[in-house]
Amino acid sequence: MRVLLIEDELTQLKKLRTFFEETFPDYHVEMATNIEDARIKIIESNFDIGVFDILLKGKSIFDLLEGANFANREIIFLTGNNEFALKAFECYAVDYILKPYETNRLFSSIKIASNRLLKRNSSNEDNRYSFLAKAVKETSIEFIGLPNLNGIKLVPINQIVAVEAARSYSTFHLLDKKSITISKNLGWAEINLKPLGFFRVHRSWLVNKSHISDFIKQNGYSLKMTTGLLIGITDKARSRVFEWIKGFTISD
């Protein structure tokens, strides 16, 4: 296996290099310590597994990853910043590990990445999502970045009531009854928000469980949100919603 380490802290880089020398001595390791070298390595190196820091002297590595082909590569983010976990979903990362980290956690991630490369098949995508979702849950995520014409708007997760599909767009309905529409489909929103307490109740709706106020059985089934928004739900989603609500119901 060929590994690319991108890390601008020399102490951390030495620790990573020693880890691979002692634990995976057969792996060939390349390194980059700044954004310029990282750009070249990402484009030119034939690495299989990338272990990347996110901020290199204040510059985000995500700018380098846009448009890169990672079809046969596995990425692990190793960072001291917990606000980028959602962005890691877009890169289909194996794991998102916060510093300081336990070497056992990194070892497990490397093994998963290696096995996935050796046994590549479509079913591994579900495992990829579940493993990263666990990593996201272990971080403290307070915002999601919504891309717009002016850049990226940071929206607090707890202010999002529901997300509505609008063809290839998504409309985020907020607690103050304002809305934001972005040029991302509902699938993108679901991937990013599902680990944070959101779930699909209709092909056109994703809701925040924290903002459900009523489960209404009248002319079908609907959810009333804390803002008064009424959202119809499918029969398939009804059982999941009902099971969730039963956990808060006081028995006679």
Tens digits of residue pLDDT in 111-154? 988 888 887 644 445 555 555 555 555 555 577 888 777 677 88
Helix (H) or strand (E) holding 124: helix 124-137
φ, ψ at 38 (rounded to 5°): -60, -40
Question: What is residue 248's predicted lDDT score, i.e. its pLDDT?
Answer: 61
CATH number for the region 143-246 comes to: 2.40.50.1020
Question: What is residue 80's predicted lDDT score, i.e. its pLDDT?
Answer: 84
CA atoms within 13 A on the CB side of 148: 13
Question: What is residue 8's predicted lDDT score, i.e. its pLDDT?
Answer: 93
Helix (H) or strand (E) holding 134: helix 124-137
Name every residue whose Cβ is closer than 8 Å to that of residue 194 and which is 6 or more positions away in sequence: 133
User: Across the strands, what pairs with 214?
Assistant: 224
DSSP 196-228: GTEEEEETTEEEEGGGEEEEEESSSEEEEETTS
* pLDDT tens track for 166-192: 888 999 999 999 999 988 888 888 888
Question: What is residue 122's predicted lDDT score, i.e. its pLDDT?
Answer: 41
- For residue 177, what are its two tokens? 């009854």
Question: What is residue 44's predicted lDDT score, i.e. its pLDDT?
Answer: 82
Per-state percent for the chain, helix, strand, coil, to nearest 5: 40, 30, 30
Residue 54's nearest CA partner among 91, 20, 104 is 91
Helix (H) or strand (E) holding 236: helix 235-246
Question: What is residue 57's predicted lDDT score, i.e. its pLDDT?
Answer: 86
Distance CA 10, CA 126 (A): 35
- Taking only the tens of pLDDT, the chain with its 252 residues reads 899 999 999 999 999 999 999 999 999 999 999 999 998 888 888 899 999 998 888 888 887 876 666 667 889 998 887 777 777 766 668 888 888 888 999 999 999 888 888 876 444 455 555 555 555 555 555 778 887 776 778 888 899 999 999 888 999 999 999 999 988 888 888 888 888 889 888 889 999 988 999 888 877 889 999 999 999 988 878 887 777 776 665 554
Residue 134's nearest CA partner among 94, 78, 77, 188 is 94
CATH 3.40.50.2300 location in the chain: 2-137
Coil vs helix vs strand at 148:
strand
Question: What is residue 120's predicted lDDT score, i.e. its pLDDT?
Answer: 60
Question: What is residue 164's predicted lDDT score, i.e. its pLDDT?
Answer: 96
CATH 2.40.50.1020 location in the chain: 143-246
Length of the chain (residues)? 252
Asked whether 85 and 41 are in contact (CB, 8 A), the reply is no
**Is domain 2-137 annotated with CATH 3.40.50.2300?**
yes
